[in-house]
């Protein structure tokens, strides 16, 4: 995913969706592509079952603030509140250390 840039920041977006998710996948893909163009973006991971969790990684708190205020992202946020989400929570965390495991075949 990302090379070790510690410390860095993780934005954890946890949500539940409404029954009406028309257009959601397209907007999510568009937002991911747009985020990748933003200064300070390091990577993204996402999973969805009953609860969706998307974690985006950023170099600084200012980079996160700028992303939150990006015009197209503001439109997507508004659409999410109106159409796609029953509930969501955002957590911003500082990542001090990371490690991983990869099974060798």
Question: For position 14, what pLDDT does the model report?
Answer: 97
Cα torsion 99, 13, 74, 67 to 10°: value is -20
Question: For position 2, what pLDDT does the model report?
Answer: 59
| 83, 20 contact by CB (below 8 A) | yes
Residue range 8-95 forms a domain whose CATH class is: alpha beta
Here the tokens at position 101 are 């495991």
Q: Cα 64 to chain center, whole Å? A: 10
Q: Is the Cα torsion angle 56, 45, 77, 70 positive or negative in sign?
A: positive
Averaged pLDDT, 74-91:
95
Please determine, for residue 5, whether its predicted confidence score (pLDDT) is greater than 80: no
Please determine, for residue 83, whether its predicted confidence score (pLDDT) is greater than 70: yes
């Amino acid at each position: 995913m990302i090379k070790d840039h510690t410390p860095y920041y993780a934005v954890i977006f946890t949500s539940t969706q409404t029954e009406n998710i028309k257009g959601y996948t397209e907007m999510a893909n568009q937002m991911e592509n747009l985020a990748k163009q933003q200064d300070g973006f390091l990577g993204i991971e996402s999973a969805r079952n009953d609860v969706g969790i998307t974690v985006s990684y950023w170099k600084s708190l200012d980079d996160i603030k700028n992303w939150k205020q990006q015009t197209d992202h503001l439109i997507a946020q508004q659409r999410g509140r109106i159409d796609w989400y029953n509930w969501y929570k955002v957590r911003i965390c500082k990542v001090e250390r990371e490690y991983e495991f990869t099974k060798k075949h």
